[in-house]
Structure 1
Amino acid sequence: MEISTVFIVLLLAVGAVQGVIFGSILFKSNTHNKIANRILATILCLLSYRLLVQILRLFGLGYYDSWYYVMIDLSWIHGALLYFYVKAQTQPNFRIKKSDWIHFLPVILQIGISIFVRMQNLYWDGTRESLTWLGYYGYVVWMNNPTIYIVASLLIIFYAYKSQKLLNIVGENFEIQETKLTWIKRIIRSFLIYFTLVLSVLLVDLIVFSSSNEGSYFYFTRFYYYPFFVGIAILTYWIGMEGFSRRNDPELTLKKVIPIETSEKLKEISKRLEAAMQEDKLYKDQELSVQSLGKQLNIKPYLISKSLSEVCNKRFNDYVNEYRVKEVQSLLANEDNSKYTLLSLAMEAGFNSKSSFNRAIKKQLGISPSELKFQK
């Protein structure tokens, strides 16, 4: 075996093995992004399988056997998987719905056509007349031209654009971690650029070389054969590294972007709420609710809740209880209050029951109420 071939085998093997290892780890990872990780694991394993089949062929093994045909028959699924990966990364609690199965129609069609074309071997006796018109031209288009790979590249490009559009929509309409969007965009852009290049080479090669060879076409037998698979190996290795390093990232929490006018209004409401708590100490009212606070401040209750959610990222009860807990701490710091029980001080601060006080202390400070006295 030539040194150049050995080098190529090593490159393909590194990509394939790395893809299998990362794919296995991602598939078994039990994190918040479990579905996204498993979809990426499937992509990695399919790409690795493609590389392994090619390695076998370099050693003269696996020519047109069942392993080879399985690899060919699944080549139209990569684009849909890439799109579902982006959806799983950008949609909390993502699940594949019935309507999503339409994206798997291309691979179902591919398997059906592939079986039909291979069945023509049962009737072939060496003459064109032994096959039907559909059987003959189906075989020519399917087996003697790069039809499978052109369609596969087109599907990946289509779904890469679709994924980019989805990422742009998410980025424009929701507050989202930009770093997460950035590395997902890098993966999509890599697929888009690489398979656009592959498609361009395939089309030029088909037109130029099939014309110069009087219609005879032998797929990937020229100068770009090995670079194509080396590119797949590099792509497999890289996206495996990206997915593996971020497999434990928390699931996205999408927060809808609100108009500037609304945002300013909510910020103004939050300032009024802060003044009501700090200056008027409305939190001391044990019966305080969103409705009663809205009446006192002449603000619609839903705007109070929205302001707390958008500006303070808190719920009403947590917001009020923060002031009550601080009030209890302030009362405990005063030596004149040492004669009072902790519960009576809690009631003075606005809590209306022992259980609500205990929950608030545990949530706000992470300690038990009995430990609170030692923090004076």
Structure 2
Amino acid sequence: MKPLELVFIILLSIGALQGLIYGAILWINQNPNRTANRFLATILFFFSYRLIVEIFKLFGLGNYDIFYHVFLEFNWIYGALIYFFTKAYVSPQFKLSFKYDWIHFLPVLIEFLWSNFIKTQNFFWDGTRESLSWLGYWGYVVWMHYPTQYIISAGLVIFYILKSERMLSVKDYETYQVIPHKTDWISRILRIMKWYAITILLVVLIDFIFLDYAFNRSYHYPIFIGMALITYWLGLEGFNRKQDIVLKQKYILNDKETAQLKPIADKLKSIMIEAKVFKNPDLTLNILSESIEEKSYLVTKCLNLLFHKKFNDFVNEYRIEELKLLLKDPKNSNFTLLSLAFEAGFNSKASFNRAVKKLTGQSPSHLKSEN
């Protein structure tokens, strides 16, 4: 065995083993995201299976022997599993419905049946084209000598990741909210997997069009090393986040409460935009309530139920927007970020840093570079 193949086996084995371990933990773990974590565990199991198949092939198993008919392709299932993992993560009480969701697994069923059909052609092959039917011959050529499997697999992953990203972009539903920063890790994973699939798609298409795809597999090792790394990372992230509370149920207002709180919300917006009371570094809930001549408990109720924010977050969002305007003004180019933050209403460096990180997910320096 060549040294490169040995390194390849080690890397794939680490990814496959971690995928199986983390997958088993996520599957049996009782937590608020049980359904989503079981979809994630299934993704890890299929990734690990694919890596194990490649390891066996390096040991000479699975190349036109009995294992060749046992090791079947399930590459077209990844996209659907990624989509349902994301959907289950951000949808309370989600359950897979065979009646409505079976269509998403149709590609892998086609892949399973077609792969079996192609592999059975070896029972009829005697070295001549005439020994196979027209469908058997051309099916084998398209399946084995064209990048059909790669293209469809990558295309499905990209398609379903785009659907998942659109789903994650919605944070506010009628009866519940998605806590934004709790899904950032899923967005990162989707982004990495999307570019991984795009890269595979471009590489195999370039190879097929301009080179000799059927006999050139120089990119074979990098593709599966990438899969091993994603499997390891996906398992680690899923394990660390398995207990996260992602959804927050909304309090449903009745007509009387809406009529009571809506005028307060209008006054809060007005005093923030026109009077810019947020620039007062000593602003408190009581001061704000007195400014609009409302009781503090009603202001708190309005902030929680109509704006879905706590007092500090509500005020700090206006301060951050004001800071962005100050940063864009050329007149302020000589001022430090912290001095402008104080101008916007923040009263300390620590509170400023916390607010920016919490509300934007970025560091204050990144906020400055953007503006």
TM-score, normalised to structure 2's length? 0.65
Task: Provide closer, same or farther for how the CA distance between residues 159 and 263 of structure 1 changes in structure 2, counting only shifts above 3 A.
Answer: farther
Residue type matched to 1:237 in 2?
Y
1:248 pairs with 243, 247, 260, which one? 243
Alignment correspondent of 1:164: 165
Shift of residue 141, structure 1, vs aligned partner: 0.4
User: After the TM superposition, which residues 63-102 of structure 1 pair with which residues of structure 2 at under 5 Å, given as runs?
Assistant: 63-65=63-65, 71-97=71-97, 98-102=99-103
Alignment correspondent of 1:24: 24
Shift of residue 222, structure 1, vs aligned partner: 3.2
Shift of residue 68, structure 1, vs aligned partner: 5.2
Task: Provide closer, same or farther for how the CA distance between residues 11 and 253 of structure 1 changes in structure 2, counting only shifts above 3 A.
Answer: same
How large is the Cα RMSD of the aligned pairs? 3.3
Alignment correspondent of 1:48: 48
1:217 pairs with 179, 199, 214, which one? 214
Q: Distance in 2 between matches of 1:226 and 1:41?
A: 24
What per-residue deviation string (whole Å, max 9, x for no partner) do you get for residues 143-165 of structure 1? 22221121111111111111111
Deviates more, 1:81-90 or 1:200-209: 200-209
Q: How many pairs are equivalent? A: 271
Task: Provide closer, same or farther for how the CA distance between residues 232 and 157 of structure 1 changes in structure 2, counting only shifts above 3 A.
Answer: same
Residue type matched to 1:41 in 2?
A
Alignment correspondent of 1:213: none
Local SS of the residue matching 1:253: strand
Q: Does structure 1 retain, via aligned residues, the 8 Å contact 2:73–2:111? A: yes
Shift of residue 6, structure 1, vs aligned partner: 2.5
What per-residue deviation string (whole Å, max 9, x for no partner) do you get for residues 322-342 of structure 1? xxxxxxxxxxxxxxxxxxxxx
Local SS of the residue matching 2:76: coil
Q: Does structure 2 retain, via aligned residues, the 8 Å contact 1:92–1:253? A: no
Residue type matched to 2:210 in 1?
V
Shift of residue 139, structure 1, vs aligned partner: 1.2
Q: Distance in 2 between matches of 1:93 and 1:226?
A: 40
Local SS of the residue matching 2:32: coil
Task: Provide closer, same or farther for how the CA distance between residues 203 and 70 of structure 1 changes in structure 2, counting only shifts above 3 A.
Answer: farther
Alignment correspondent of 1:114: 115
User: After the TM superposition, which residues 224-263 of structure 1 pair with which residues of structure 2 at under 5 Å, given as runs?
Assistant: 224-253=219-248, 255=250
Task: Provide closer, same or farther for how the CA distance between residues 25 and 64 of structure 1 changes in structure 2, counting only shifts above 3 A.
Answer: farther
Q: Distance in 1 between matches of 2:3 and 2:134?
A: 46
1:182 pairs with 160, 164, 184, which one? 184
Task: Provide closer, same or farther for how the CA distance between residues 93 and 131 of structure 1 changes in structure 2, counting only shifts above 3 A.
Answer: same
> Which structure has the bigger radius of gyration?
1
Alignment correspondent of 2:145: 144
Task: Provide closer, same or farther for how the CA distance between residues 183 and 76 of structure 1 changes in structure 2, counting only shifts above 3 A.
Answer: same
Shift of residue 132, structure 1, vs aligned partner: 2.3
Q: Distance in 1 between matches of 2:27 and 2:35?
A: 9
Shift of residue 7, structure 1, vs aligned partner: 2.2
What per-residue deviation string (whole Å, max 9, x for no partner) do you get for residues 323-371 of structure 1? xxxxxxxxxxxxxxxxxxxxxxxxxxxxxxxxxxxxxxxxxxxxxxxxx
Shift of residue 39, structure 1, vs aligned partner: 0.6
Residue type matched to 2:245 in 1?
P
Aligned identity (percent) is 46
TM-score, normalised to structure 1's length? 0.65
Unaligned runs of 5+ in 2: 267-300, 309-371
Unaligned runs of 5+ in 1: 211-215, 272-305, 314-376
Q: Does structure 2 retain, via aligned residues, the 8 Å contact 1:13–1:52? A: yes
Q: Does structure 2 retain, via aligned residues, the 8 Å contact 1:175–1:257? A: no
Q: Distance in 1 between matches of 2:258 and 2:153?
A: 46
1:206 pairs with 184, 205, 208, which one? 208
Local SS of the residue matching 1:217: coil
